[in-house]
Amino acid sequence: MTRRPRLRKPPKYAFMKRLALALPGTVEEAHRHGPWFNAGKKTFALFWGKSERWILRLPEHQVMMLIEARPEIFSPMKSGSMLWIYVDVEKLGAEELRAYMTAAWRHTAPKKMVRQHFEMEERT
């Protein structure tokens, strides 16, 4: 009987998980290639074990800008008609990662959920 190798923890997994789960309505789903973070039923951040990279769902114009401005950190990932972005999280600091994770959630989450979150944030 051969043992399947265990998946290694993704880079900055604990930090990325903490960022994602701090956003309203986010759940983590186990996938055979790594963790996926969903807002409602839609995935906004995931780790793809086959490529050993984190993937975020950002607006297409932001993806294009980041790929052009910082190709050493960001690269395109096409899935069907959607354009996602690979991110080398090891080269980014906490504040940048928080901003990109929030942008991915905001782009993907149901609009009512986003509106409620930012209304509550403005009150505090």
> What CATH number is given to the structural domain containing 40?
3.90.1150.30
Residue 18: domain span: 13-123
Q: What is the mean pLDDT of residues 80-102?
A: 94
Percentage of residues of the chain with pLDDT beyond 70: 88
Per-residue pLDDT band at 10 (split at 50, 70, 90): confident
Q: State the pLDDT at residue 6.
A: 56
Express each pLDDT in 109-124 by its tens digit.
998 888 877 676 667 6
Q: What is the mean pLDDT of residues 86-96?
A: 96
Percentage of residues of the chain with pLDDT beyond 90: 66
Per-residue HEC secondary structure of the chain comes to CCCCCCCCCCCCHHHHHHHHHCCCCEEEEEECCEEEEEECCEEEEEEECCCCEEEECCCHHHHHHHHHHCCCCEEEEEECCEEEEEECHHHCCHHHHHHHHHHHHHHHCCHHHHHHHHHHHHHC
Give the sheet arrangement for strand 82-87, strand by strand.
Answer: 26-31, 34-39, 42-48, 53-56, 82-87, 74-79
Beta bridge partner(s), residue 79 = 82
Whether residue 89 is predicted with pLDDT greater than 80 in this model: the reply is yes
Q: What is the mean pLDDT of residues 26-47?
A: 93
Does residue 68 form part of some domain? Answer: yes
**What number of CA atoms fall less than 13 Å from residue 116's CA on the CB side?**
8
Does residue 3 form part of some domain? Answer: no
Does residue 5 form part of some domain? Answer: no
Whether residue 76 is predicted with pLDDT greater than 90 in this model: the reply is yes
User: What's the pTM value of the predicted model, to 2 decimals?
Assistant: 0.85
Domain count, the chain: 1
Q: State the pLDDT at residue 42.
A: 94
